[in-house]
Amino acid sequence: MSVLIWIIISTILISAIALVGIFTLALKDKILEKILLFLVALSAGALIGGAFLHLLPEAAEQFENADFLILVLIAFIFFFLVEKLLHWRHCHQGKCRVHTFGTINLLGDGVHNFIDGLVIAATFMVNIHLGIVTTVALALHEIPQEIGDFGVLVYAGFAKKKALILNFLIAMTVIVGGIFGYYLSSVVTSSIKYLLPLAAGGFIYIAASDLMPEIRKESDLVKSLISFGVLSSGF
């Protein structure tokens, strides 16, 4: 199977996760709240594990020196600035406090998903195994994020059906990013190695700034220990 087919299938699967809103509608708020904590923990572990155990070692092999670490830092700062400027809201509670219009949330998600597509394409261009690992890490992160984004849209005034459709359409930008990334990498082969540390920096930022704080909020000892176990399984 060609690399392009792998990229298309992976990005389609990622975009389909946006339909998790259907699952969300079928759950009671109390049940959803309990599940979300563990989904967040699993997502954080997968992103951190993917960054430190796969993306960074692969990037180290691509570069002759440690300059790639500067790109990791640049990506970390970039994601922070984009989140502040575009108001990315990676909310993981059913009814989040909305700071901006739902349309701003959709715009931010569109940019985010396009970058995810570029990352998936870049990792598959390195090797299939790395591409699969990256896709799984992104998928685990997308589940709690899409539930949160769906909640934000509903809270912002969108009808549930319309919120679900809009969320899915925006999620499809990951497919566009994947195909664009594939042809970009075909023309400029050297661009692949630069996307690896940039992706790692993004993974670390999302896990450290958006997901880990949610886990730390849990005060119940038993739930905290279970969350730590789920986090470790994500690694």
Prediction pTM value = 0.66
C-alpha 181/C-alpha 110 separation (Å) is: 15
- Dump pLDDT digits (tens) for 8-56: 999 999 998 878 766 666 666 666 667 777 877 887 888 888 889 888 9
Q: What is the pLDDT of residue 103?
A: 64
Q: What is the pLDDT of residue 90?
A: 46
Q: What is the pLDDT of residue 99?
A: 40
What would the DSSP string read from start to end of 35-81? HHHHHHHHHHHHHHHHIIIIIHHHHHHHSSSTTHHHHHHHHHHHHHH
Q: What is the pLDDT of residue 7?
A: 94
C-alpha 176/C-alpha 124 separation (Å) is: 15
Higher-scoring residue by pLDDT: 184, 148: 184
Query: What integer is the mean pLDDT of 209-235?
Result: 84
Pick from 22-26, 65-69, 94-98, 229-233: least confident = 94-98
C-alpha distance across the termini of the chain, in Å: 28
pLDDT score of 155 more than 60? yes
Q: What is the pLDDT of residue 94?
A: 47
- Dump pLDDT digits (tens) for 102-120: 666 677 677 778 888 988 9
Q: What is the pLDDT of residue 158?
A: 75
Q: Virtual CA dihedral for 233, 57, 209, 207, nearest 10 degrees?
A: -30
Side chain identity, residue 96: C
